[in-house]
Amino acid sequence: MADIRNHTREMLPEPTLRRLPWYLAYVNMLNARNVEFVSSTQIAKDLNVDASQIAKDLSCLNIKGKTRIGYEVKMLEQVLQDFLGFKEVHNAILIGVGSLGGALIQDSGLSRYGLNIVAGFDVNPTIIGTKICGIPIYNIADLEYKRKALKAEIAIIAVPVDQAQSVADLTVANGIKALWNFTPSRIKLSDNIVVQNTSIYSHLAVMYNRLDIQKQQSK
């Protein structure tokens, strides 16, 4: 397959980047159903996103829709796939193999999105030296020595909140370029380190609040 991504990758706004995977999941589904073309109006209808927003988002990619027909589904799938990097392999290490960390190791969905967890690190002697789903768990003290051999540039941070900053500093000192932070800590690092914060529990706060309000209103 030809690499159509040999142009310089553009810096897209974060909200746009976060929507692109929705479009990809959607065209994956269309392709599986042998749909050949799709318009931004149809995508808008099915995904509940504004059509002009979709046209604007997709205009960032190297693809043009045809008047009255729309986008070729297979082509759009390919372009999104390539742009998003989900088909490339990104090695990652996981720091903190507790409840959430252990769950992430077991989520094979991550590998479908290009994330390859190559090792876990922890301080707990009862799990150091074991494997989870075939992935070895090492002592965090061996991070420096192991990280180079593992060729990982991404660290997933799933440690207790008060450990987050020191663990982040440690990984960066050892060559990590991007952090996927699952703790509620707002980690501070130099600007050349990429940080993505995913505090899934924050979404529960919103859900509980909205649920309570619905109950009050329906009384």
Interface with a second copy in residues 134-173 (CB under 8 A): 153-154, 161-162
**Contact (CB, 8 A) for 79 and 4:** yes
Six token digits for residue 21: 């995977």
C-alpha dist (Å) from residue 174 to 52, 63, 144: 44, 39, 6
- The residue among 34 and 67 lying less far from a second copy, judged by its C-beta, is 34
- The residue among 68 and 96 lying less far from a second copy, judged by its C-beta, is 96
CB of 67 to a second copy, least distance (A): 26
Q: Does 37 bind a second copy (CB under 8 A)?
A: no
- The residue among 148 and 186 lying less far from a second copy, judged by its C-beta, is 186
C-alpha dist (Å) from residue 68 to 39, 62, 136: 8, 19, 53
Phi-psi category of residue 5: left, alpha or beta, with phi > 0 → left and psi -120 to 50 → alpha: alpha
User: By CB under 8 A, which span of 3-11, 66-74, 120-128, 137-145 interacts with a second copy?
Assistant: 3-11
Q: How far apart are CA 182 and CA 201, in angstroms?
A: 9
Q: How far apart are CA 208 and CA 212, in angstroms?
A: 6
Binding to a second copy by CB under 8 A, coded x per residue (else -) over 67-86, reads -----------------xxx
Selected from 79, 102, 119, 120, the binder of a second copy by CB under 8 A is: 102
User: By CB under 8 A, which span of 123-131, 135-143, 144-152, 182-190 interacts with a second copy?
Assistant: 182-190
**Those residues with Cβ within 8 angstroms of residue 21's Cβ, 6 or more apart along the chain or in another chain:** 84, 86, 113
Q: How far apart are CA 104 and CA 91, in angstroms?
A: 14
- The residue among 65 and 102 lying less far from a second copy, judged by its C-beta, is 102
User: By CB under 8 A, which span of 41-49, 70-78, 118-126, 144-152 interacts with a second copy?
Assistant: 41-49
Selected from 91, 113, 139, 174, the binder of a second copy by CB under 8 A is: 113
CB of 201 to a second copy, least distance (A): 5
**Contact (CB, 8 A) for 172 and 196:** no
User: By CB under 8 A, which span of 28-36, 70-78, 123-131, 135-143 interacts with a second copy?
Assistant: 28-36
